[in-house]
Chain A
Amino acid sequence: MKVEGSIKTVILGEIIFPILLLIFGIYHGLMQALYRAGIIKDMSFLGIEYYQGLTLHGVINAVVFTTMVIVAFGNAVFLYYLKRPLRPAVQWASFLMMVIGTLMAAWAMFAGKANVLYTFYLPLIAHPAFYIGAALLLVGSIVPLFFDWAPNYISWRREHPGEKVPLAVFGVFVNHIMWVIMLVPVVITVVFQMLPLSLGLVSEVNPSLSRTLFWAFGHPLVYFWLLPAYTMLYTVLPKIVTGEGKLYSDSAARFAFILFILFSFPVGLHHQFTEPAVTNSYKLVQALFTFGVAVPSMLTAFTVAASLEYSIKSKYPEVKNSLFYWWTKIPYISLEGDKWLVSYFMAGLFLFFVGGITGIVNASYNVNLVVHNTSFVPGHFHTTVGGLVTLSLLGISLYLVSKLMGKEIRFKGLAVLAPWLWWQGMLIFEYAMSVAGLHGFPRRTNTGISYLNPDSPLYRPEWVGYAELSAFAAFIIVLGFIFWAISFFGTLLSPSVREGSLEFPTAEALHDEKAPALNRLTPWFAISVALFVLSYIPALYDVTKRGVFFDSPGYTDKNPVPITKPQSAKEEKSTAEVK
Chain B
Amino acid sequence: MDRAEKGAFITAVLFLSFFFALIVYAAKGLNIDVPTCITDVKPYTQGQVIQHAPNRYEIHYLAKMWYFEPADVELPVGSTVDIYLTSGDVIHGFQIDGTNVNLMAVPGAISYARVKFEKPGVYHIVCHEYCGIGHQDMTTKIVVKGGEQK
A352 within 8 Å of B (CB atoms): no
A93 within 8 Å of B (CB atoms): no
B residues 50-99 touching A (CB-CB < 8 Å): 64-66, 85-86, 89-91, 93, 95, 97-98
The interface residues of chain B lying within 8 Å CB-to-CB of A572 are 42-43
The interface residues of chain B lying within 8 Å CB-to-CB of A211 are 91, 106
Chain B interface size band reads: 35 or more
* Docked-complex contact B106 and A207, CB < 8 angstroms: yes
* Docked-complex contact B36 and A280, CB < 8 angstroms: yes
A20 within 8 Å of B (CB atoms): no
Bound CA–CA A458/B13 (angstroms): 45
A residues 274-315 touching B (CB-CB < 8 Å): 274-280, 283-284, 287-288, 291-292, 294-295, 298-299, 301-303, 306
* Docked-complex contact A370 and B5, CB < 8 angstroms: no
A560 within 8 Å of B (CB atoms): yes
Bound CA–CA A299/B107 (angstroms): 42
Closest partner residue, chain A, to B127 (CB atom): A442
Nearest-Cβ distance from residue B41 to partner chain A, whole angstroms: 10
The interface residues of chain A lying within 8 Å CB-to-CB of B98 are 440
Q: A208-B106, A274-B103 are in contact. Are A451 and B136 (CB under 8 A)?
A: yes
A528 within 8 Å of B (CB atoms): no
* Docked-complex contact B132 and A556, CB < 8 angstroms: yes
The number of A-B residue pairs with CB atoms under 8 Å apart is 227
Nearest-Cβ distance from residue B42 to partner chain A, whole angstroms: 6
B-contacting 9-mer, from A117-125, A128-136, A163-171, A327-335: A117-125
* Docked-complex contact B137 and A275, CB < 8 angstroms: no
* Docked-complex contact B9 and A295, CB < 8 angstroms: yes
Candidates B26, B85, B100, B126; contact of A451 at CB < 8 Å: B126
* Docked-complex contact A440 and B37, CB < 8 angstroms: no
* Docked-complex contact A373 and B95, CB < 8 angstroms: yes
Bound CA–CA A287/B22 (angstroms): 13
Interface centre among B34, B89, B93, B100, by most chain A C-beta atoms within 10 angstroms, is B34
The interface residues of chain B lying within 8 Å CB-to-CB of A557 are 132-133
B117 within 8 Å of A (CB atoms): no
The interface residues of chain A lying within 8 Å CB-to-CB of B109 are 208, 276-277, 543, 547-549
The interface residues of chain A lying within 8 Å CB-to-CB of B9 are 295, 298-299, 302
Closest partner residue, chain B, to A119 (CB atom): B130
Closest partner residue, chain A, to B125 (CB atom): A440
A43 within 8 Å of B (CB atoms): yes
Candidates A276, A278, A288, A443; contact of B112 at CB < 8 Å: A276
Candidates A280, A294, A449; contact of B16 at CB < 8 Å: A294
Nearest-Cβ distance from residue A359 to partner chain B, whole angstroms: 12
Interface centre among B12, B19, B23, B109, by most chain A C-beta atoms within 10 angstroms, is B109
Bound CA–CA A566/B106 (angstroms): 19
- 10 pairs of residues in contact across A and B, judged by CB atoms under 8 Å: A54-B130, A208-B108, A274-B35, A275-B35, A299-B12, A302-B4, A369-B32, A442-B127, A546-B39, A555-B89
B interface residues (Cβ-Cβ under 8 A, vs A): 1-2, 4-5, 8-9, 11-13, 15-16, 19-20, 23-24, 26-27, 32-39, 42-43, 45, 64-66, 85-86, 89-91, 93, 95, 97-98, 100-104, 106-112, 124, 126-133, 135-137, 139
